[in-house]
Each structure stands twice: as C-alpha cells, then as structure tokens.
C-alpha cells in the first residue's frame, strides 16, 4: 500500500496532482481523529460511507416530503369539494386543515432541499478522493514488481474508474426530466356522485397541468431548435470562408477560427457533454410521454363522468 | 486535382474496416450553393503571379458549389474514429483588366481522419491526419488575388485533460508540409514550399463562459528560399505565439481572442512581431433571423527594413485583416439561406501598396439528412 507521503512526492510532479494533494490535505486537516497517515484508499471508504449516509438522508427526506405532500393535496381537495357543495362549515374546516398541513409541507420541502445539497457535496467529496486514488493506482501499477500484482491493481483501477464515471454522470446530469407518474385516483364502489365528480375534476386538473407542461416543453424545443440552427449557420460561415482560403491572413498559425482543441472538443471520447440535438430529442420523447399521460387522464376523467351519468339515470 | 480527390476517396473507403461499417453514421452532411459579386482593388504586387496588369480595379461574378461532411466510423464511450471531408468548385467571371477578361476556376478538397482515445479519468488523446489540395485554372493577375494551387499533408497529436480543480489542460503537436508544385512558367511559386512542426499547450477555466490561455512554438523550413547566409543557406523561421481566448456559449455566442506572435529567422527579411485580434459572434435576430460576425485584424511590424515590396497578400503583407457579416434564415427545416458580406485588406509600408476585396454573396446550405 502506498503511503501518503510517498504519493505526495509523486503528485508534486503535475499541477493536477498537486490539486488532488491539496484536497487530500484539506481532508486531513479537517479530520484530526484519523491522523495524518490515513491513505487515500481509506478516504475512499470513508467518503463512500458519507455518500451513502447522504443518499439515505435524502431518500428519507423525500419519503417524508411525499407523505406531507399527499396530506396537503388531500386537504386542498377537501377545500375544493366543500366549495363546490357550498357548505360554509365544511369549507372553514377544510381551510383550517389545509392551513395546518401547509406548515409541515413547507418544513419538509426545506429539509428535502437541504438533503439534496448535502448529497451533492458528499458526491463531490468522493469524486475528489477517487481521482487521487486512481492516480496513485497508476503509479503503483508502474512500480509493481510482478504482473500478478499489476493485474490486481488494474482490476481495482477499473472498478474505481467505473465508480467515478457513474458519479460524474450522476452529478453532471443537470438536464433532468421529471418522470411521468399517473396520480393514484381510483374508482371506489362507495364513492358518492360528489366523490366521483371530485375525482373527475382532479384528473382534469392534472390533464390541464400536463397540457401546460407540454406547451412549455414545446417552447423549449423551439428555442433549442433555433439555437441549433444558429450554431449550424455559424459553422456554415466558418466552413464556407475557409474552403477557398478566403480567410488566409499573415502570422496567424494553428487553429485561429475556433477549431476544437482536445479539451473543448465535444466529441472527445468518454467525456462528451450532451449535445443540443440530443437535448431536443430527449425533450421530444418527454413530450410524447406527457401527451400519452394527458390523454390517459382525460379518458379516465371521462370514465368517471360517465359513471356519474349512469348513477344519475 | 481531380485525380487527387479520387485518391482521397479511395483512402476514405480504406479507412473504414468492413467489420465497422455497421457503426458508420453521418454526423454532418451539408451541400452548399452560392453566388457572389466581388470587387478588388489595389496596387500590391504578388511574387507568385506571373501576369501583370496595370489596372487597379477588377470585378468578379462568382458561383460556387461545395459539400462537406463528417462520418463517425466507430464510436464507443472510450474510443471514436471520425472521418471528415470538404470539397468544392468556384467559378468566376472576372472583368476590368486591361489585357483581357479571365475565368478563374478553383477546385478545392480536404479530408482528415481523427482517432480519439479516452485515458480513463485523465482525459483523452487525439491523433489526426489530413490532406488538403487546391488548384486554380486561368489564374488572374492582381488585384484579383487568388491563392495559388497547392497540396498539404498534416498530422497531429493532442491531449486534453478532464477538469482538474476547475482547470482543463491541453497540448497539441503537429507536422505539416506545403507543396505548391511550381510549374515551369512560374518557378517562383516554389518559394512558398515549406514544412513546419510545432506544439501548443493551453489551459482553460470557467463555465459556462470559458477562458483559454495558450502558447506554442513553431519551426518552419523554406527549402527553396535563400537566407543570404552562405553558412546557413536556406530560410528557417521559428515562431513563438501566446494568446488568450474568451468564449461565451449560449443563445448569444461570443468568442474573442487575441494573440501575439514573434517570428525570427536566419533570413533578416521575414523577421516580424505581430498582434492579432479576432471576434466571432452569433446573435438571434427578430423573425428567426440570425447574425454572424467573424473578423480577424492583424497588425504586423517587421524588425528590419526591406526594399522588396513583392509580397504575397495573405502570406507576408505587413497588415492583413478580414471581416465577415452574415444574416441567415431558415428557408425549410433542412435548408438555410444567408446573405454574406466580406471584406479583406492587406497592405505594406513600402510605397503604400495595398490590396482590398469587398463583396456580397447569397448562400444556401442544404442538409439532406436533416442533421
């Protein structure tokens, strides 16, 4: 096992490694109970545990939020029902209930946001130390005395590399689309006509929300498509002027017209960011899902309304 | 030239192993059609043009067709192979000369292949190679300057790191060779034959707007140019370049760059210092129009005075600048139209000689695959 002082000497040979070292030292300074001799490998284990704890806390916060959100939504439905029935006493009681439930709702919402922030920080902390450990492994492989040892280290390197890739994907996935989930509104034989009407109303409101979301996403697609077209027109300009050597000017050598360098190239293997084309396609797929979701809601609302009519006749 | 393009096409087919053909897909395919009217003026002489005409104004009506594309031959999360090509022909009808009218025709073609390999958590490695060629028939005299025909071969190696503490590093090394294949009636064209090698390193930071600082060295050998030094008879230049580039990507795309160049040689004449400023802007306009502006302004100062004013615009003029302004609009989902204005100027201190081009064109770009 490589000790940290030895690793420190190696890291000093490259700015990136120096940065990694600083991160490691920062941790050591902040955690005196573990002592200065703690290795990057131990740090990986420690930060994995911290990330798991952060994930658990986030999941717990989300579950708790879902419970209070459902309660709050139920209270709002009570308000709607009471308003429709015109019963002032019921309406006041429903308002009071909704008011009471809005307090834990806000509280849980805030806790969920805090847990999300903590999760992001814990993930980044693990990414930082994984990068350090991977560098160490490369050095250890170079210095390994046998091919067997080298193979063992290579397996560890691959596992850690995959883990790092997954974490970076998770962290870099800023373009996230919420999953489409149908609300749990089911028909119950004990439902009164008012109950059925309320459920139909709820489904139609959800359908209207989906409709708004569809329009919003379509506007987003339109904006991205316009941006993509402008990017293409810019590429056309540069390609057109370069083709016949019209831009040849003195002393400018290399790649003056914004030709990609390896670090900025969007096609660099293994670190390619999501392209505009891919974003547009993802949004289109999402809009299709939303349309299907909206149609299902409308159909179910119609079924409820038919049931009311059949009860009435 | 056409034979050369045929060879490129054959190389392209060889570059794609049959077992990988199933993965081949077009990343981009664009057909271009354009027409322009350009005015040329100036009294700058060019050493590579053997006809001399006393006029200092000429006009050309130009038509052009072209195609370019990029093929992804192989792509996995850790490795990719891309093949790019670009070719076209431009025909002009040039009038305003005292000797006769000209009908210059330019054939151009280029191709390149690039292999990118991920280096795990470090970053990625890129290897590329390319060929480029051009030929000109019925080349007119000045002031209608057209680059002479040539072929180039180039290759390079690049390395880019993932962001490390917010900094991304990159490094590139490359080799290139220019061959102007000087005909018997124009031996001076061989003066431009050269080979070069160089490297550049850079660091980038920030996001979403980024700044890249870079610097590099380049060595160029002109084996057909004398240095006037019997102990070291052929011209050898070495060039240092540092620069800064700021890029803001978004609905409004802006890229601004500035670099300084110091060129020294074993021949006194081509030693110079230069500063180059460039800007690239893309902005949305009302009614789905877009504006593109691209400009490069170069200011050059020679270290030693020279009585030789026979320079090549675009190669060694004291100052040379180009500016483009384009307004584009979508005519259909896969067809873009654009009006483009171009301006270029090169000048030398000797006798206030200058060269200027100004023109307007209409361009259509068709993407049959919609990509």
In the predicted structure, residue A250 carries a pLDDT above the cut 50: no
- Give B74-88 pLDDT, tens digit per residue: 887 778 899 999 999
Nearest CA in chain A to B288: A226
The answer to whether A177 contacts chain B (CB < 8 Å) is no
Selected from 2.30.38, 2.40.160, 1.25.40, 2.30.40, the CATH number assigned to the domain covering B2-366 reads 2.40.160
Q: Where are the domains of chain B?
A: 2-366
Q: Integer distance in angstroms from the first to the last C-alpha of chain B?
A: 30
What distance in Å separates residue B300's CA from the closest CA in chain A?
Answer: 8
What residues of chain A lie within 8 A of the CB of B272, using their CB? 251
The answer to whether B66 contacts chain A (CB < 8 Å) is yes
Count the Cβ atoms, other than its own, within 10 Å of residue A17. Answer: 20
Distance CA A271, CA B79 (A): 11
Cα distances from B114 to residues A252, B71, B125, B371, in angstroms, run 23, 10, 10, 20
Residue contact B169–A248, C-beta within 8 A: no
Please state whether beta strands B79-95 and B194-205 pair in parallel, antiparallel, or not at all (unpaired).
unpaired
Residue contact B68–A247, C-beta within 8 A: no
What residues of chain A lie within 8 A of the CB of B76, using their CB? 269
What distance in Å separates residue B342's CA from the closest CA in chain A?
Answer: 9
Of B64, B158, B292, nearest to A262 by CB-CB distance is B158
Residue contact A239–B218, C-beta within 8 A: no
Tell which A residues from 10 to 29 touch B, by Cβ distance under 8 Å: 15-16, 19-20, 22-23
- Over residues B203-227, the mean pLDDT reads 89
Greatest mean pLDDT among A93-102, B26-35, B262-271 lies in B26-35
Tell which B residues from 313 to 342 touch A, by Cβ distance under 8 Å: 314-317, 320-322, 324, 326, 328, 330, 336, 338, 340, 342
**Average pLDDT of the residues of chain B:** 86
Of B90, B159, B263, nearest to A262 by CB-CB distance is B159
Share of chain B above pLDDT 70, in %: 89
Residue contact A243–B300, C-beta within 8 A: no
Q: What is the CATH number of domain A1-173?
A: 1.10.287
Higher pLDDT, B15 or B363: B363
Q: What are the backbone angles phi and psi of residue B25, rounded to the nearest 5°? A: -150, 150
Record the tokens describing residue B362, joined without a space: 């209409």
pLDDT for residue B303: 81
Distance CA A299, CA B161 (A): 53
Q: What are the backbone angles phi and psi of residue B37, rounded to the nearest 5°? A: -125, 125
Residue contact A253–B172, C-beta within 8 A: no
Of A238, A244, A261, nearest to B90 by CB-CB distance is A244
Record the tokens describing residue B286, joined without a space: 């009302």
Distance CA A7, CA B122 (A): 17
Greatest mean pLDDT among A55-64, A226-235, A280-289, B100-109 lies in B100-109
Residue contact B328–A226, C-beta within 8 A: no
Residue contact B365–A236, C-beta within 8 A: yes
Residue contact A258–B280, C-beta within 8 A: yes
Tell which B residues from 83 to 142 touch A, by Cβ distance under 8 Å: 86, 88, 90, 106, 108, 116-118, 120-121, 123-126, 134
Cross-strand partners of B177: B153, B195
- Over residues B49-55, the mean pLDDT reads 83
Note the helical H segments in chain B: 2-14
In the predicted structure, residue A23 carries a pLDDT above the cut 60: no
What distance in Å separates residue A74's CA from the closest CA in chain B?
Answer: 42
Q: Please state whether A102 falls in left (phi above 0), alpha (psi between -120 and 50) or beta.
A: alpha
Residue contact A16–B326, C-beta within 8 A: no
The answer to whether A237 contacts chain B (CB < 8 Å) is yes
Give the up-direction half-sphere exposure of residue A33: CA atoms within 13 A in the CB hemisphere.
1
Give the up-direction half-sphere exposure of residue A240: CA atoms within 13 A in the CB hemisphere.
32
Say which range, A105-119, A250-264, A269-283, B156-170, has the weakest mean pLDDT: A250-264
Size of interface A-B (CB pairs under 8 A): 219
Distance CA B361, CA B62 (A): 9
pLDDT tier at A274 (50, 70, 90 boundaries)?
low
- Give A167-187 pLDDT, tens digit per residue: 876 765 545 555 555 556 677
Residue contact A246–B344, C-beta within 8 A: yes
pTM above 0.90, yes or no: no
Closest by alpha carbon to A149, among A2, A33, A309? A2
- Over residues B158-185, the mean pLDDT reads 88
What distance in Å separates residue B223's CA from the closest CA in chain A?
Answer: 19
Residue contact B120–A134, C-beta within 8 A: yes
pLDDT for residue B91: 97
- Give B138-149 pLDDT, tens digit per residue: 989 888 888 889
Q: Where are the domains of chain A?
A: 1-173, 184-242+273-313
In the predicted structure, residue A137 carries a pLDDT above the cut 50: yes
Residue B187 has what DSSP assignment? G
pLDDT for residue A255: 38
Of A239, A244, A268, nearest to B106 by CB-CB distance is A244
């Amino acid at each position: 096992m490589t000790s940290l002082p030895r690793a420190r000497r190696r890291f000093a040979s490259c700015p990136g490694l120096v940065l990694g070292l600083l991160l490691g030292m920062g941790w050591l300074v902040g955690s005196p109970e573990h002592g200065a001799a703690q290795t990057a490998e131990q740090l990986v284990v420690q930060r994995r545990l911290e990330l798991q704890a952060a994930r658990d806390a986030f999941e717990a916060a989300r579950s708790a939020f879902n419970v209070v959100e459902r309660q709050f939504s139920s209270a709002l439905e009570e308000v709607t029902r009471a308003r429709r029935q015109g019963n002032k006493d019921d309406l006041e009681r429903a308002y009071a209930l909704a008011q009471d439930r809005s307090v834990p709702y806000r509280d849980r919402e805030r806790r969920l946001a805090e847990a999300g922030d903590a999760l992001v920080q814990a993930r980044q902390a693990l990414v930082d130390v994984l990068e350090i450990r991977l560098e160490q492994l490369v050095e250890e492989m170079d210095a390994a005395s046998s091919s067997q040892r080298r193979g063992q280290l290579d397996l560890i390197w691959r596992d850690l590399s995959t883990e790092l890739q997954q974490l970076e994907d998770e962290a870099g996935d800023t373009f996230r689309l919420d999953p489409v989930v149908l609300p749990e509104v089911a028909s119950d034989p004990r439902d009164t006509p008012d109950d059925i009407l309320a459920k139909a109303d709820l489904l139609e409101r959800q359908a209207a929300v989906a409709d708004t979301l569809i329009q919003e996403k379509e506007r987003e697609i339109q904006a991205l498509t316009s941006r993509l077209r402008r990017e293409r027109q810019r590429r056309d300009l540069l390609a057109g002027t370069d083709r016949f050597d019209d831009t040849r000017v003195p002393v400018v050598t290399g790649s003056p017209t914004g030709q990609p360098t390896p670090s900025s190239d969007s096609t660099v293997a293994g670190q390619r960011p999501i392209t505009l084309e891919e974003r547009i396609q993802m949004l289109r797929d999402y809009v299709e899902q939303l349309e299907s979701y909206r149609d299902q809601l409308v159909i179910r609302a119609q079924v409820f309304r038919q049931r009311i009519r059949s009860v009435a006749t | 030239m056409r034979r050369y393009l045929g060879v490129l096409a054959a190389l392209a087919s060889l570059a794609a192993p049959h077992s990988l053909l199933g993965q081949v897909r077009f990343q981009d395919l664009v057909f271009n059609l354009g027409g322009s009217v350009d005015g040329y003026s100036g009294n700058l002489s060019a050493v590579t043009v053997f006809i001399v005409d006393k006029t200092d104004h000429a006009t050309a009506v130009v038509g052009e067709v072209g195609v370019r594309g990029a093929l992804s031959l192989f792509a996995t999360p850790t490795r990719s192979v891309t093949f790019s090509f670009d070719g076209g022909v431009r025909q002009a009808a040039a009038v305003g000369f005292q000797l006769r009218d000209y009908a210059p025709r330019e054939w151009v073609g280029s191709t390149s292949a690039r292999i990118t390999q991920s280096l795990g958590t470090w970053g990625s490695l890129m290897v590329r190679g390319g060929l480029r060629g051009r030929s000109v028939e019925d080349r007119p005299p000045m002031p209608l300057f057209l680059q002479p025909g040539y072929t180039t071969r180039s290759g390079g190696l690049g390395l880019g790191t993932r962001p490390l503490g917010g900094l991304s590093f990159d490094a590139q090394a490359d080799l290139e060779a220019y061959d102007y294949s000087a005909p018997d009636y124009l031996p001076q064209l061989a003066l431009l034959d050269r080979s070069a090698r160089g490297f550049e390193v850079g660091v980038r930071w920030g996001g979403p707007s980024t700044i890249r600082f870079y610097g590099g060295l380049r060595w160029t050998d002109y084996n057909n140019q004398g240095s006037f030094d019997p102990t070291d008879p052929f011209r050898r230049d070495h060039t240092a370049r540092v620069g800064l580039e700021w890029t803001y990507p978004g609905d409004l795309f802006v890229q601004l760059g500035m670099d300084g160049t110091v060129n020294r040689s074993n021949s006194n004449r081509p030693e110079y210092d230069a500063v180059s400023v460039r800007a690239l802007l893309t902005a949305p306009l009302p009614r789905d129009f877009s504006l593109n502006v691209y400009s490069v302004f170069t200011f050059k100062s020679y270290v030693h005075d020279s009585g030789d004013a026979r320079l090549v615009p675009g190669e060694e003029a004291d100052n040379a600048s180009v500016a483009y302004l384009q307004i584009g609009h979508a005519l259909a989902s896969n067809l873009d139209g654009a009006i483009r204005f171009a301006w270029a100027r090169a000048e030398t201190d000797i006798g206030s000689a200058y060269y200027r081009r100004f023109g307007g064109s209409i361009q259509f770009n068709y993407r049959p695959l919609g990509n």
